[in-house]
């Protein structure tokens, strides 16, 4: 069963605006990761946040993690057309089976 659930399922914004996606999960985690998938391609890792971290930045990306609420958010600032993609959160509970992925948020940046 899916561990992470992203919200919203789809998001359409104007270029230059900020995009926020949320992820909720059910069980304890070691870390949470966000991935991007362009149409027809494999997933690409964006950022990892450990369970003892609350916020992390990477370029135009800002990720927050609230373990008490079992939720995370991904903020993309100053969006660009090239940010159009699906974004997935993935939780790592520390087992050998690796990550459990959510169903993704499809982000469309309108020029």
Partner 1 sequence: DAGITQSPRHKVTETGTPVTLRCHQTENHRYMYWYRQDPGHGLRLIHYSYGVKDTDKGEVSDGYSVSRSKTEDFLLTLESATSSQTSVYFCAISNRDRGPHEQYFGPGTRLTVT
Cβ 32 vs Cβ 89: under 8 Å? yes
Q: Which stretch binds partner 1 (CB under 8 A): 16-24, 56-64, 76-84, 96-104?
A: 96-104
3-state secondary structure of 86: strand
For position 39 contacting partner 1 by CB under 8 A, the verdict is no
Query: How many residues form the binding site for partner 1 (CB under 8 A)?
Result: 25
Give the DSSP H or E segment for 36: strand 31-37
Closer to partner 1 by CB, 19 or 99: give it. Answer: 99
**DSSP letter string over 45-74?**
EEEEEETT-SEEEETTEEEEEETTTTEEEE
For position 45 contacting partner 1 by CB under 8 A, the verdict is yes
Interface with partner 1 (CB under 8 A):
1-2, 30-31, 33, 40-45, 48, 50, 88, 90, 92, 96-104
């Amino acid at each position: 069963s899916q561990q992470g659930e992203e919200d919203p399922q789809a998001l359409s914004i104007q270029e230059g605006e900020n995009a926020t996606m949320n992820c909720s999960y059910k069980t304890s985690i070691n870390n949470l990761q966000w991935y991007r998938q362009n149409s027809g391609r494999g997933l690409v890792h964006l950022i990892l946040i450990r369970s003892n971290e609350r916020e992390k930045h990477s370029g135009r990306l800002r990720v927050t993690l609230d373990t008490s609420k079992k939720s995370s958010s991904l903020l993309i600032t100053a969006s660009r057309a090239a940010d159009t993609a699906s974004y997935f959160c993935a939780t790592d509970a520390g087992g050998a089976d690796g990550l459990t992925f959510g169903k993704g948020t499809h982000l469309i940046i309108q020029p």
